[in-house]
Amino acid sequence: MESKRNSPAVTSANFPGDSNGIVGKRSFLGELPEPDVFIVTSGGRRIPAHTGIMASVSPVLENLIYRPTKRRSSEKIVPILGVPCDAVSAFVEFVYSSRCTEGEMEKYEVHLLALAHVYSVPQLKQRCVQSLHQRLTVDNVVDVLQLSRLCDSPELYVRCMKLAYHHFKAVEQTEGWRFLQHHDPWLELDILQFIDESESRKKRAKRRREEQELYLQLSEAMDCLEHICTEGCTSVGPHDVDPTKAGARKKEPCGKFATCQGLQTLIRHFAACEKRVSGGCHGCKSMWRLLRLHSAICDQPGSCKVPLCRQLKLRSQQEKRRDEARWRLLARKVVTAKAMSSLSQVTMVMRRRRLEEEAIKDMCRPSRARGARSFKLGNGK
């Protein structure tokens, strides 16, 4: 305790070698002991620092500071070369305060990212990555991409790749791209592969969405077919119900399914078409496919009112046709698409209900607070 009290205090006035006024910036840390290490820059600037602070933030600096040296000298020196002196000063300032001004970050973000990577300062590295992402443009994306690969920043690397993918025609016209073609063909190949894979994913996603829409349409057609054959609708009803009575029940267009009117028209054509037995026309073939799909999905053929449901299921079981596996696969996909659609709708309803409840709570909080304040004021009087 006595030695600590008698040790000379260090301020911005008596800090040796404080040519950049760094200690003055660290006034919030209070008085510091004498510096025991100096950071030497390319321009010959000597930045005083403390081994304990530098080693606690950077394991690389810790190894450099405490490594054995051949020369016996009371003065410890850590050279940081190859970057501007002010960038090194900003780096040391961040080590002490975990802060960096916007001006320093905008001017030296590339150098600070390199220093943060080399000396393993993850907080500064993340700050530089965020700054570079905010200032990422078509003109500098190739340079930042090279830097992100050298500094092992996958987050920045992916962001650069996405920008290059979305604006590739503009990137091709930049000086950075022309430099890349002549000096770094491997990175050029990586960018082209990323663009090709992104296009493939985009096409697969589009094809998957189209397939899901088709399965949902088939699922709606199955529900509509059961609705017509079980309940009856505008002009078509169950086979065991008088059609005149069924028609008298509903005169207005059906609003339950968007495909109901078209499916009724197809059923009437199927019942009256003369080509149905010999293979049928295009409309009859479509109706046969709908009936076949229904029989593959239906799990109660004994009580089902859809025409030919039981017969088609028995026939498929007896004949074991080659396309039976395809029909089962199609039926499974239609059922899965319907379940996923129902689940997403339930999730959206629950989310909307939760947001409404949170909004109601937010609206109620201020009124309670106003009531409490008015109550206290009333007591004060």
Residue 200 CA, distance from chain mean position: 18
Q: How far apart are the first and last CA of the chain?
A: 56
SS3 content of the chain, % helix, strand, coil (to 5): 65, 5, 30
DSSP state of 253: P
| Calpha distance 45→159 (Å, rounded) | 36
Taking only the tens of pLDDT, the chain with its 381 residues reads 333 333 333 433 334 344 444 444 444 344 677 888 899 999 889 999 988 899 999 999 989 888 876 666 667 888 999 999 999 999 999 999 888 888 999 899 999 999 999 999 999 999 999 999 999 999 999 999 999 999 999 999 999 999 999 999 999 999 999 999 999 999 999 999 999 999 999 999 999 999 888 888 888 888 888 888 888 887 787 766 665 554 444 556 677 788 888 888 888 888 888 776 556 688 888 888 888 888 888 888 778 888 888 888 888 777 666 677 888 888 888 888 888 887 777 777 788 788 777 777 776 665 444 444 443 434 444
Please check whether residue 200 is in contact with residue 233, taking contact to mean a CB–CB distance below 8 angstroms: no
Q: Which amino acid is at 166?
A: H
Q: How far is CA 229 from CA 31, 291, 306, 379, in A?
A: 89, 12, 5, 73
Other C-beta atoms within 10 Å of 124: how many?
A: 24
> How do strand 76-79 and strand 37-40 relate by DSSP bridges?
parallel
The encoded tokens of residue 161 equal 């790749």
**Model confidence pTM above 0.85:** no
Q: Given this model, what pLDDT does residue 68 score?
A: 75
Helix (H, G, I), strand (E, B) or coil at 125: helix
